[in-house]
Chain A
């Protein structure tokens, strides 16, 4: 006698023996997002050598300009032929504007020179459980970051404030003193839970890159890292988020699409994409080793915004005819 006498027997066996409860919704969503990030990374890696996104914008400008020329020539050819005119669906004039530049296309782009501290551990093996929210740690030197010539660290020596007015260890000025070593005496420790530090750049600036060193004496991951720029110290005016890896919005600043990462001596370089503002605020919410928050150094690479040129003197009103 066979094992499957009734038509439904085979279905029942497969359902009982191979069915599974559905995966968690958060897992499915998170993995989908991580795959999207991976696809973009692999596409960028396969494209012609582009050291960093700042350079890609220059490419985008060049391509946009070339497309404009080609499209304009095409439209002109169509419009000039007998009985011509733009066919349906094609604009008769103009093209959509290109992306906002990080530096103007005329600016020379040069690699940022970032002085790195000593590495305090070797190897790439970590004990972190693979997660769709955690970036793979390879410990390799990062590619050069290109920024407009004349870009400097605007944060050096600038005043720092924080949500925790009395750090457990260290002083706030350590964040912008240029010392990035991971040893005792170089870092500031803030209390548990969500904490932020804020740097006043003392004037409106264009920012191209923000580099942050949390404690990098061991392989650890800081959670809910959010970096924002704003025009006012209370972060009300013109707030822009340049990095957010709070994937479940547990810090209340919105769901982030960036990945968590393992700290090391290179710090984390964030492409600020030419964001403008005077204040930079960095939040975090504990780390993989404990609930505290630690900062060693924050660098903000950019340029001060040129003050608006003085208005030309008003012309003297012409004398009224008598």
Chain B
């Protein structure tokens, strides 16, 4: 297992480097114009443009910039390790920016993942156990709604109903839990639920389908024949086997959300990592995009590894060489 983990970590580095390289190339291949122009005023002189390009490091070939970035990443800069450079727009440390914004995204993911996991799996179990009942139909109807309703629409409707009309939510924005736990919860519960609805729907369907399949297995029939209660059959035997694909999905979903909860962050004005990356892409702020892409790539790779390890514990048939 240790050797397996070491090998996976090595390949993680290769994958991350490849992702960074592709991002660099994309920035130079897509015809989006000279980034330096965005940070020059009206009618910049050629001298001014050259100075801006030099300040931003754009006067060098893309592969030289790439290798400089990799070097700074491993050595670090004045703001610490890893060195992620400075934004084009404000010459702010990308690392500091990510560190400042990351808690918003991570807390958004943490809260919504708990909600979607608990609710999705619970609904899936109930739906599978009460198959073809009104409960099952309602649960799958919810799943259909959750998968179909756009996140931005859910968010805006949620704000209108729970903030504007009912006053149950504090509205958009972010309050750090260290400043006020009440303010934090009153701002975050609505984005948690909004983001969770889509995933809960998927998880409910996935859990239902897997559990139904597992409940049809011979060993489940044997367990029932041996006189185990239905609760024991489901929770001690069937659920464990059904959850292995759920675990895989859970790990990947969390990893993808690290850089990807853009819509939720925009609607609820959370201004986390996803929004940071979006703004960076729209303003051609290459270092910002690179920083978030790097973080997201590392998150996906590490979560993949973690999921595989947990998989081995869940399913005794799985052994890694």
User: Is chain B found bound to chain A in the same assembly?
Assistant: no
- B contact set with A: CB distance below 8 Å: none
- A contact set with B: CB distance below 8 Å: none
